Amino acid sequence: MKEILSAENLTKTYGKETVLNGVSLTVYENAFTAILGPSGSGKSTLLNILSGLTKPTSGQVICGGEIVSALPENKLADWKRAEAGHVFQNYLLLNNLTAEENIRIGVVPGKAPLNFDRLVKLLEIDGLLKKFPSQLSGGQQQRVAIARAVIKAPRLLFCDEATGALDEANSKKVVELLHMLKSTFGATILFTTHNAQIASTADRVITIKNGLIAGDRQNASPVKPADMVWG
């Protein structure tokens, strides 16, 4: 497996509260890695630091031999724009733009995007492109958000509780589509969740507890997303 991203002794404090307390890990290409933990465990903070949205208090994030976490804001913005895609729990679509327009704003000038028609067909939103977010269901909005994140062909796709606002059926569909994107386009996916069923579909499961890595295992027999069983 080829390393794509690494973190060394990451800490993050907010005032007197320590959220991360010395996390080190390596992320490998073309893998779906679940970061599993309860609310308040530090998993979203870890993802935000790895993806460049938040600076660590100490420690560093390295990608391609470059210390990403130490980059000045303009260089960090360039790295995020070119290398990282982000999918959030609450979609963050622009309400005054159609689904197609929301997707196309993800294209990075000067960088070859993924084939638009192939991507929207794969995500099953090709019939929704002229609709506005208010006309779409939660599951449809999340698929549009995923298309926006991956249209620029990022090396890394960061998903923070990406199914947290969805029901069981749509959650399964989104997870299934993310796995399909990994296999089709070679995406490297990091997905935070508190749902052990979603984690069971991943190639690797990193468990976070109290700001530390409590477990890190390769999943020898990942569950198919369609076979997940909600409790």
Q: Where in the chain are the domains?
A: 3-227
Q: What are phi and psi of 230, to 5 degrees?
A: -75, 145
Q: Note the pLDDT of residue 230.
A: 75
Rounded distance, CA 66 to CA 131, Å? 41
Does the pTM surpass 0.75? The reply is yes
CB atoms within 10 A of CB 82: 14
CA angle at 57 for the pair 14 and 82, rounded to the nearest 5°: 110
Q: Note the pLDDT of residue 1.
A: 81
Q: Note the pLDDT of residue 231.
A: 59
Rounded distance, CA 206 to CA 163, Å? 18
Q: Note the pLDDT of residue 229.
A: 85
Tell me which CATH homologous superfamily contains domain 3-227. Answer: P-loop containing nucleotide triphosphate hydrolases (3.40.50.300)
Rounded distance, CA 179 to CA 224, Å? 9
Q: Note the pLDDT of residue 129.
A: 98
Q: Note the pLDDT of residue 176.
A: 92
Closest by alpha carbon to 27, among 197, 203, 151, 230? 203
Give the largest CA-CA distance in the chain. 50
Q: Note the pLDDT of residue 135.
A: 98
Question: What per-residue string of b and e applies to 113-141 under the rule 16 or more CB within 10 Å gives b?
Answer: ebebeebbebbebeebbebbbeebeebbb
- Residue-by-residue pLDDT tens, the chain, 231 positions: 899 999 999 999 999 999 999 999 999 999 999 999 999 999 999 999 999 999 999 999 999 899 999 999 999 999 999 999 999 989 999 999 999 999 999 999 989 999 999 999 999 999 999 999 999 999 999 999 999 999 999 999 999 999 988 998 899 999 999 999 999 988 899 999 999 999 999 999 999 999 999 999 999 999 999 898 875
